[in-house]
Amino acid sequence: MKKPMIEIEHISKRYRIGANKEPYLSLRDEIAKIASRLRPGKNHHGQSETDFWALSDVSFSVQEGEAVGIIGRNGAGKSTLLKILSQITPPTKGKITVRGRVASLLEVGTGFHPELTGRENVFLNGAILGMSREEIRRKFDEIVAFAEVEKFLDTPVKRYSSGMYVRLAFAVAAHLEPEILIVDEVLAVGDVQFQQKCLGKMGEVAKGGRTVLFVSHNMAAIELLCSRCALIHNGELKGIGHTKMVLNEYVEGVYLGMVRVPPAQRSDRSGSGEVRLKDVYLVDQQGKLLPAVQCGDVCTIAFQFEFTEHPKPFHLSFTIRDSKGQYISRPSTYDVSFLPGNTPRSGILMCSINRFPLIPGYYRVTTEIRIGGEVADYLEGAALIEVAAADFFGTGRINDHSPVLLDQKWNITTLNE
């Protein structure tokens, strides 16, 4: 039986939070540090209250030709694991064995030199992967065609947009025939058409007998590409197995649990902090709280906010995704040129939808508040909307095979013969 391409054995990774970077120390300094740890009352395991374990005792293996998805909420430890596999950072504990040449695409610009042109970076990346110049030349035209950057091939990549950067980086990583391809959520930077192209290429790579590790919040993409899936939560491996089974566990457990924590109690948010979202909830036309909305009903989504500084005019937008992470819609105050004038220090901003157009299920709402174009508060999974079945079209038939229900009218016209 063949040995796995990747073996991850009891991997843990510790970071020091709030600690200043230490200078280079002499042997005398190191001996003094060791002696201080051995004094009574000290933690003999070397931990302190500033230690943060991004990964804790993670173990699994990946076979040749397997496509394995890695899922989990932001900060779960997914990217840390990929950085260890790519030898960007070492583990604190444990052992990783990688059998084969690895190509990684972890963030925009990984492995590229900004001063070099696109053409030069293709050859540089190939050399880093251990390819000969002749091997790179054979694949060069295919890489350029896939990345769609032919016009800018002799331009320094520092002048590329993030989308162009990612297109070229992915094309190099996927076409130079690594035994192992590691891809993080960076593909979300590209447009939808290119993302589909990348997913197709990763599928080809896996079917060609090579190994793929893929991190994404897009559950549909994971389900399409990966035969197995690993769920990481708070640095621990919570499960690994058939993709559909693990995705269900994620949606029903970790995913739904995250959005059930009230926004006011959430600390995993970003932005300047000038204003904070305190709550998100549904109300009917009379202002009464709704536990769920029926498809086709009038629905109002209420966003309770509070300024931590002097109130300013702001814009709010929210992204709706289904239970598999697929993007559905992004309503925004920008769409209707709405900007509160005399903004209160605390208040409720309400978005009314005349006929709620989504089929039954759970939908995650991610919110973003901007002041003067800058993000003031961003909260992933701020709320969960439950949509209940209803007769949207008034035909007595429940339509649940289309993700969005369009308010439609039909008629027929007779042509004169």
State residue 27's pLDDT score. Answer: 54
Q: What is the sign, positive or negative, of the torsion defined by CA atoms of 25, 29, 34, 39?
A: negative
Q: What's the rounded Cα separation, in Å, for the pair 32 and 44?
A: 15
Residue 18: the pLDDT is 60
Confidence at residue 326, expressed as pLDDT on a 0 to 100 scale: 80
Domains of the chain: 6-21+47-257 (3.40.50.300), 263-388 (2.70.50.60)
Looking at residue 236, what is its pLDDT?
93
pLDDT at residue 9 in the model: 94
Amino acid type, 44: H
- How far, in Å, CA of 142 to CA of 133, rounded? 15
- Cα separation of 14 and 149, whole Å? 40
H helix runs in 176-288, sequence order: 192-207, 219-225, 243-249, 256-259
The reported pLDDT for the residue numbered 147 is 87
Q: How many CB atoms lie within 10 A of CB 243?
A: 21
393/76 Cα distance (integer angstroms)? 42
Report how far residue 314's alpha carbon sits from residue 333's, in angstroms, rounded to the nearest whole number: 9
Residue 44, pLDDT score: 46
Tokens of 281: 């909830």
Give the pLDDT of residue 75: 80
Residue-wise burial string across 148-184, b where 16 or more C-beta atoms lie within 10 A, e elsewhere: bbeebbeeebeebeeebbbbbbbbbbbbbebbbbbbb
- Tell me how crowded residue 298 is: count the other CB atoms within 10 A of its CB: 13
For the chain, 417 residues long, the average pLDDT of each consecutive 10-residue run is: 89 78 53 58 52 92 92 85 89 92 73 87 83 88 89 90 83 82 72 77 82 84 88 91 87 63 87 94 88 90 94 93 83 84 89 90 91 92 87 75 82 86
Predicted confidence at residue 376, as pLDDT, reads 95
Instruction: Give residue 345's pLDDT.
Output: 92
Give residue for tokens 């629905």.
299
What are the structure tokens assigned to 184, written together?
Answer: 């993080």
Task: Output the pTM of the full model.
Answer: 0.64
**For position 37, what pLDDT does the model report?**
58
Residue pair 297/291 in contact (Cβ under 8 Å)? The answer is no
Q: What span, in angstroms and rounded, lies between the C-alpha atoms of 277 and 162? A: 30
